Structure 1
Amino acid sequence: MSEFWIDQLTVEKVVLTGLRADSAVLEGGVDLFVDEAPWARLFPLAHAHAVQEVGGVLSIDIQLPYRLGEGFDRPRLRLVMAATGEPIGHSASRPLPRKRKARALVLIPAGHRYDHDKVRMHDWPVSQIIDTYSNIGDLMVYDSTLKLLDFDEIEVANIVDFNDHDVDRYNTEFDFAFLRGSNFIHEYMDWARAGDLIERLDIPVFAIGVGAQAETRRPINLPPEGQRVWAAIADKCGSIGVRGIYSAEVLAHNGIKNVEVVGCPSLFRRRDRNLTLDLKHQADIRRIAFSLRRETGGNYCRDLETYLGLQRAFMLRLDQESQMTVTLHGEREEKAYFFRDRDRELQARETLFEEDWFQESTIFQMEDIYRTRMFFNTTVAQYDDFIVTQDFAIGYRVHGILPALANGIPAMLVDYDERSAELAQTLNIPLIPESELKNASWRDFYKREAWSRFAASFTEKYDTMRKYLTKNGVPHRL
């Protein structure tokens, strides 16, 4: 593979990227093939005005020698080094349209899309909503990704039992595919046949704000199918957008190097570059949203018993010190209380006692919270509507905190795993070490200056996401 790669391929131009130190390989030119027929020899270095350099990395805009059509019948393009015949990598072969709205494939959606760019839970009976663990954070990040993208229509790609006809249709009727920004980089991900499908796509595949999941900052050795998927995505785009440095390190450890740190789409869901937080005086804080995460596992927290004990004790103190609302993000037992399903509530009560979450010494306060001070949303829009009624948000759920900030509500995240730490570091979100929750009040953390770095850097972070999307040719609305 060539030392240079394609960041963007559209019907108008191709953008090559590579190191200044390797630029000699371009002196012999680049051969352009159209539907496998040789078409033109291009000389990227011949036009100095088209060459930009930042930190020793060149970005070269090459206008195509003729204007391609915008239709779904537009030809496949391929570029190779003229001197050696080596392919120039990191690009699908069918260029993106520029003047019409694109049609997109989503590889792994969450919930049900409606009204173009909104997401809600599936239209299930309440009993099924309670019994099915559905991570509201997945709905939030899918909804947020849709709000960043500019598209005409979206279809869910079949990654399980697709056939040759499906692949042909995807390649002829769609312009790009994408993966929402969730925790897809870990050892336990079930990709079904996604790797096979991505390898056979002739359209770009974008991953926007994806992240690694681990309880600590440790190496992750992806299994063969995981490596296959990420290698396939890396070869279908200029660069993979990850949430932070740790996720980039994990992909690099597994051989994927074309990666950029962009944060998470959920922080930019309002598409407001001039976001400001409503930082009230501490004495004026009354309504506080606490995002609960009782459900967890070994790759989500460092010490389960300590994690649950500190969380429960802090929630009880927060309830005593404020008008607290507990936001629910998927746990079955809490949903049984929220929906007032008597039979399931009795089962939930028994389970919560068995797991030592409910304790006799605090049961009256806990059940009062569970019956009167919980919030659960079946649409992402409901969370937006709710969170703007609050003065402050604090807790364990990344997607309780990020959308609060996106809506101008000051929010703090508890540091309980590498994902929370990574996002806080990338986006300058105030992060509370888990150990500091012991015997603490929310007032110990709420200081208006705690958000100084977040406020000072938000525009830069917004621009980073926008530039990443633009650079890779992703149709977007930022």
Structure 2
Amino acid sequence: MKKLFVLNGGAAVKPGNKSAYLKFEDPLAAFNKGGINTGDVLVYDATLKALAYDDIRNVQFSHAGNEKLWPQDGTYDATVVRGSNYLTETVDLAHVVPLLKKLKGPVVAIGVGAQAGKYKKLNVPKGTVEAWKIIADKCETIGVRGFYSAEIFNDLGIKNVRVIGCPSFYRSLKPSITIKSIDPAQARIGLTLNKYLSADYASNATKTNRMQRALIDAVAKRPSSKLYSQGEREETLAIFSSGKEKQDNIKAILTKFNLLGHTEAEEMLNNRMSAFFDIEEWAADAAANVDVMVGFRLHGNVIALHQGIPAIFFTYDSRIRELASLFAIPSIEIEDYLPINLEKLLERADFSKVQHIYRINYAEYHRFLTENKLNHVLPKPVAAPADKPLSAPNLVQVPHNIHEAVSWFRSEIDFMTGEVETLRNRAWNLETTLRSVNSKQEAPAKVAV
């Protein structure tokens, strides 16, 4: 029996070990506690599809310090680390080091990446550096998701890396994909949002949120389009609740994007929004109902792209930028901060490079799994891996007439001015309140006669 140990799998595994899902008895109770990123489940699911093991057990990094959960010596043929944002300035993997030292056999990370709002050198915690050096010594190569991540590993003195992208891109297990064509005027659009982007997860949180607002406004006006929640708390609660609770969550979403009173957006959130905890169901729904996916969730777009459904990325952090560049996916850079003309955007998106680059990246992924001696089921590549890096942004260049540009920036300036005024009023109210408190504290006490 071939047995696999997984670090940070983060989901239940279906019988047959080829699919992952979130097992909830009560989704409302779970999401009332907080959001859950179902994109991580997609990565795990795609990893399982590529590998061939009879028995699979996973342990979360958060539980890695519990020795009772560790595998016994010699009981597993290999360990894989499910890809995610493990190279940051805020994540310390020191508690995982004792387990990594104890593990027998190869320890292979698949699709790991560095995370930052924008390109910069990272001051990685010592515990994380030690953890990755142990892993590097226990594998042939570390599979990283892009060239920025490879650079950060190199800065740590770890050279045995291979740029493979994210396993989710290869979920179809096909050595090539064909991207379907788009009818810009009639296309059914799948929308993904990410409401809480800041710090390491956005180079500019304000621009990111305002661009999402503009995208909601455009997509909601297409009655055939829908929004997919990727574990967002308010969105998921709105889908699975009813009555006042549902409306409160919809109101929270509209408020976040300054869209209260937007009739089409409210209707979309009420009637055209879906969330899935089973990856097979999520993929099937996208295949049946979406002609093009557009938005701010990496894996919310990949759930379409790996099936040949076109997807357009909005790039706002290091992760999205390096993956979009690696696969030559048409993208809009939020730092450009231009108005959204949805039909022109769909017309101008060029997917001609994606199919070619995918075949090359797939070959690299196949080589990575093979050289690390992982049991896998990937068919042979139809292209050779690239001799030189082929990573470059594929930005969608949309022309805007003077009226569009002036109208967009005038409304944005009005909004920003209002926000500044609100902050000034809050600061003034705080100052006057503090003055009042201080004056009461400093007033002489009355002496009784």
Distance 1:368 1:220 in 2: 43
Match of 1:411 among 311, 318, 322: 311
Residue 335 of structure 1 corresponds to: 236
Match of 2:141 among 221, 224, 239: 239
Q: Deviations over 1:187-217 (max 9, x none)?
A: 2225373111011212110001111111101
Structure 2 residue 106 is the aligned partner of structure 1 residue 201 = no
Go from structure 1 to structure 2 and tell me whether the alpha carbon gap of 1:474 and 1:319 turns closer, same or farther (over 3 Å shift).
same
Residue 162 of structure 2 corresponds to: 260
Distance 1:312 1:221 in 2: 33
| TM-score, length basis structure 2 | 0.78
Residue 282 of structure 2 corresponds to: 383
Go from structure 1 to structure 2 and tell me whether the alpha carbon gap of 1:368 and 1:358 turns closer, same or farther (over 3 Å shift).
farther
Residue 125 of structure 2 corresponds to: 223
Distance 1:126 1:263 in 2: 31
Contact 2:28 2:240 in 1 (8 A): no
Q: Deviations over 1:443-463 (max 9, x none)?
A: 222247701111122211111
1:435, distance to aligned residue in structure 2 (A): 4.8
Secondary structure of the structure 2 residue equivalent to 1:450:
coil
Residue 185 of structure 1 corresponds to: 87
Residue 121 of structure 1 corresponds to: 22
Residue 170 of structure 1 corresponds to: 72
Structure 2 residue 365 is the aligned partner of structure 1 residue 465 = yes
Q: How does 1:308-457 map to 2 (within 5 A)?
A: 308-321=209-222, 323-349=224-250, 351-352=252-253, 356-362=256-262, 364-389=263-288, 390-435=290-335, 438-447=338-347, 450-457=350-357
Go from structure 1 to structure 2 and tell me whether the alpha carbon gap of 1:443 and 1:359 turns closer, same or farther (over 3 Å shift).
closer
Considering fraction of residues, name the structure with more helix: 2
* Aligned residue identity for 1:423: L
Contact 1:106 1:179 in 2 (8 A): yes
Residue 108 of structure 1 corresponds to: 8
Residue 90 of structure 1 corresponds to: none
1:350, distance to aligned residue in structure 2 (A): 5.8
Contact 2:92 2:125 in 1 (8 A): no
Q: Deviations over 1:361-383 (max 9, x none)?
A: 42x33321211111110111111
Distance 1:448 1:344 in 2: 41
Distance 2:148 2:169 in 1: 19
Distance 1:143 1:118 in 2: 5
Contact 1:314 1:438 in 2 (8 A): no
* Aligned residue identity for 2:64: I
Residue 408 of structure 2 corresponds to: none
- Decide which moves more: 380-389 or 442-451: 442-451
Residue 277 of structure 1 corresponds to: 179
1:351, distance to aligned residue in structure 2 (A): 4.1
Distance 1:413 1:341 in 2: 32
1:339, distance to aligned residue in structure 2 (A): 1.3
* Equivalenced residues, count: 372
Contact 2:78 2:107 in 1 (8 A): yes
Contact 2:190 2:226 in 1 (8 A): yes
Residue 303 of structure 1 corresponds to: 204
* Aligned residue identity for 1:197: L
Residue 138 of structure 1 corresponds to: 40
Distance 2:66 2:343 in 1: 53
Residue 160 of structure 1 corresponds to: 65
Percent same amino acid at aligned positions?
Answer: 29
Contact 2:175 2:362 in 1 (8 A): yes
1:296, distance to aligned residue in structure 2 (A): 2.0
Distance 1:265 1:181 in 2: 8
Structure 2 unaligned spans of 5+: 379-449
Secondary structure of the structure 2 residue equivalent to 1:170:
coil
| TM-score, length basis structure 1 | 0.74
Contact 2:204 2:335 in 1 (8 A): no
Q: Deviations over 1:389-434 (max 9, x none)?
A: 2111111111011221111101111111111110011112112112
Q: Deviations over 1:276-335 (max 9, x none)?
A: 11213434x431101111122311112222211121122111221462211101221111
Indicate the RMSD between aligned Cα atoms, in angstroms: 2.0
Distance 1:319 1:349 in 2: 14
Secondary structure of the structure 2 residue equivalent to 1:256:
coil
Secondary structure of the structure 1 residue equivalent to 2:235:
helix
Contact 2:291 2:310 in 1 (8 A): yes
Distance 1:229 1:305 in 2: 35
1:129, distance to aligned residue in structure 2 (A): 3.3
Q: How does 1:7-22 map to 2 (within 5 A)?
A: none
Considering fraction of residues, name the structure with more strand: 1
Distance 1:387 1:121 in 2: 18
1:475, distance to aligned residue in structure 2 (A): 1.4
Residue 439 of structure 2 corresponds to: none
Distance 1:140 1:290 in 2: 17
Distance 1:476 1:442 in 2: 41
Structure 2 residue 152 is the aligned partner of structure 1 residue 250 = yes
* Aligned residue identity for 1:161: N
1:266, distance to aligned residue in structure 2 (A): 0.5
